[in-house]
Structure 1
Amino acid sequence: MANLIVRNIDDSIVRALKMRASQNGLSAEAEHRKILEQVLLHPPQKSFTEVLSQIPQVGSDEDFERIQDDLVHDVFD
């Protein structure tokens, strides 16, 4: 396994990491590994509703109405 050294971390982040680790019954190092794994290997999935809500508003419903092709009807009539 590889080692990872992270330098110049703000003291407030270190305190938050240690507090979170303590709450989870882990060392700060184990908590750090857990956070990296969760974020990088198991990113949160967006729900279908979240994805839909991120689609920009473009046009109106009428812009997307389906137009029937009269040629298709003529062939089958």
Structure 2
Amino acid sequence: MQEIIRTNDIVVLSLAESLMKDAGIHSMVADQSMSVLEGSLGLLPRRFLVEEDRADEARRILKDAGLEAELRPQRKS
């Protein structure tokens, strides 16, 4: 899995999840249970991960949806 977004914005995460589901790209939000440690304040960002071999496609989909500013820098291969 490759991290492509890190945010505390649950709306961005929800939209990203929906877009990946529609495209058939397996994704997951990591660090959701960290809210127990922080007291549910939403201070710790969640990581949005997608399949390694479809990360470029996922990035294109998110850019087309207007989420380009949310994307993490692309990893060098």
For normalisation by structure 2, the TM-score amounts to: 0.32
The structure whose Rg is larger is 1
Q: Which has the higher strand share?
A: 2
Relative contact order (C-alpha < 8 Å, sep 6+): which is higher? 2
